[in-house]
Chains A and B, each alone.
Chain A
Amino acid sequence: MIDMGVDLAGMRLPNPLMTASGCAANGRELHCFFDIAELGAFVTKTVLADPRSGRGTPRMAETPSGMLNSIGLQGPGIADFAQGDLVWLKSVGARVLVSIAGNTAGEYADVAAALRESPAFDAVVGVEVNISCPNVANRGLVFACDPLSSAKVIALVREKLPRNIPIFAKLSPDVTDIVEIAGACVKAGADGLTMINTLLAMVIDTELLRPQVAGVTGGLSGPAIRPVAVRAVWQVRAAMIEGRIRTVPIIGVGGVRTGDDALQLVAAGASAIQVGTATFNDPTAPVRVNRELAAALQDKGFARFSDAVGIAHTRLDQGR
């Protein structure tokens, strides 16, 4: 059997497959379909300081091989999460990657500090810092579109968490140069990167001739954006190989539906894989993709998953 284990910035995971933030709620629902402790890690819905109702409806539009969503980060707030959902996740044996966000850089730090006080904090294998949401203090611009804003958030969160808890900056592909943002995050103390968040997009309802979702614009996800994710992971991994950025693990996410899709991101440089929108189509997709990825790697003669990470970079010159 192939060894699917992975060391993710010091955290040992039995396999590289994860849910994606916002595509799996906080675990109870998918636990009706498979044991979420089987995942490499369960990634929670982004939690902020206060409870949030989210936006009005419609919140969703189906698009070719994907969907647009405009949920507005509906959730319970960190106090409730730390005492409730996280405790439940620990009780079923899940390894948890907690996604956090804030309206300001300071709020991210507050959320991280509150998380640390959870009675179930030992179930946390990492914190994913969702810097791809709008910064209220900075004219609503997304933190991840600006290297300085991104670095500030990462540095503040890093300070609030124990050294052995890796933090991952979740990046937006809606930037001119994702390598610059990735570099700023790593320099500020990110132990890894998650790529990519959704792409800002829009759908018009042609019957009513108005935006289809109540929030006007939304995040595009699903297999339609997979090539964008592969490109982003490739570019950042290449910058690490060239020594332009310190080498840290990359969690690949974006449009993964099958083991073969996951393999593309792995070969481009991802050390772990999140399955998001495909879960809406098949609730068992995260564990199914793990099985398919293991079979695909074994077929290709790999003894260890980690040997395949970034392998496409070593085959660039072949055939030239």
Chain B
Amino acid sequence: MSRASQRDTPSEHTPQVMGELIATRRVGAYHHMTFVAPGVAELARPGQFVALAVGGDTSANLLRRCFSIHKVSPSGTYGGTVDVVVAPRGPGTRWLTDLNTHSEVNIIGPLGRGFPLPADPVSCVLVGGGYGSAPLFWLAAALRERGCHVEMVLGAATKDRLFGVVEARRGADGVTVTTDDGSMGVQGWVSAVLPDVIDRSRADVVYGCGPMAMLKSITDIATAHGAVAQVAVEESMACGIGVCMTCVMPVTGNDGLTRMVRSCVEGPVFRGDRIRWDAFDDGRCRVPEDAYGAASMRGRR
């Protein structure tokens, strides 16, 4: 995408801070949490994430939990704050959502590369699945500041799994909502409404965040309708800082070569048409045979 040239990379010194939880509230099936995180908020860009340690210093859950940044306030009353949206699903996320205000959490961030922003005031569609929509409102504001037209499409299984519908109506030029069960908006998946939204708004860029199957669908539709997809992936990470090599996925580079790249440092945002969707199946991702270094894996377990 020629117009989207700005890529954000982590700074030379990535902040690691004890962040005080100053607000936590339930929003549907999720918890919206605000931390004072001096140094993190000031550097962050839409699409970047934070890695939170869970369970305290002697926790049996060693791996950090990564959350895309919902919003930042660089100069709040308490210093810079960072907001994340957490779905209590396992022991780590439940520990977080059970925290009382004034608890402290070790936070590393901002991490990863954020959404590239177009240099020109183009038309954009932002698509969020479930609480994958969390970073999109902040992105919408940044795009509108640049004069972009911003449409949002929010989809989820049920009404209580949608995140940010009210915020979307305030922050976008148009909002379409879908639910699988029809409890709010159009019944069906975002893929049912997306072609029409892209065509109607003559969109050049489609930004997406949500489950992998949805991101593939967004990419296919965007490509078919002449738009570029920029998607933020959700891969399970152990560290979030590029040292564990667990969050890799096959992505094709400018040189046409596919590599197993780390979604934490080279993503989480990728051009949708660069991801090798053919390698994903049934919750797993294999290494494409033509990937760099795949030949030396053959004949081995």
Interface residues of A (CB under 8 A from B): 22-25, 29-30, 32-33, 45, 48-60, 62, 64-67, 69, 71-72, 74-75, 77, 103, 134, 136, 140, 208, 214-216, 222-223, 277-284
Contact = CB atoms under 8 A, between A and B. Distances in A.
Contacts of B13: 32-33
Nearest to A64: B60
B62 A62 contact: yes
A134 B241 contact: no
Contact of A23 (B60, B244, B260, B287): B244
Contacts, number: 141
B301 to A, nearest CB: 7
Given A33-B13, A53-B294, A69-B238, 15 more contacts: A23-B244, A25-B242, A25-B245, A53-B260, A54-B248, A58-B236, A60-B244, A62-B238, A64-B60, A67-B62, A67-B63, A71-B245, A214-B284, A280-B64, A281-B63
Interface in B21-60: 53, 59-60
Main secondary structure on B side of the interface with A: loop
Contacts of A140: 300-301
B245 A59 contact: yes
28 contacts: A22-B245, A24-B243, A29-B265, A32-B10, A32-B11, A32-B12, A32-B13, A33-B14, A33-B16, A33-B241, A55-B287, A56-B279, A58-B283, A60-B63, A60-B244, A62-B61, A62-B238, A67-B238, A71-B245, A74-B293, A75-B293, A103-B300, A140-B300, A140-B301, A214-B285, A222-B62, A279-B243, A284-B16
- Tell which of A22, A24, A45, A58 has the most Cβ of chain B within 10 Å: A58
B236 A54 contact: no
B146 interface: no
A142 to B, nearest CB: 12
B217 interface: no
Interface of B: 10-14, 16, 53, 59-64, 106, 108, 235-236, 238-239, 241-249, 259-260, 265, 279, 283-287, 291-297, 299-301
A136 B297 contact: no
Nearest to A140: B301
Contacts of B242: 25, 29
Contacts of A48: 296
Given A33-B16, A67-B238, A280-B62, A58 B284 contact: yes
A281 B54 CA distance: 9
B301 A134 contact: yes
- Tell which of A69, A134, A283 has the most Cβ of chain B within 10 Å: A283
Given A29-B265, A32-B13, A51-B293, A280 B283 contact: no
B239 A57 contact: no
A56 B284 contact: yes
Given A54-B245, A54-B293, A60-B244, A65 B60 contact: yes
A53 B62 contact: no
A134 B59 CA distance: 33
A60 B12 contact: no
A87 to B, nearest CB: 19
Contacts of A280: 62-64, 238-239, 243-244
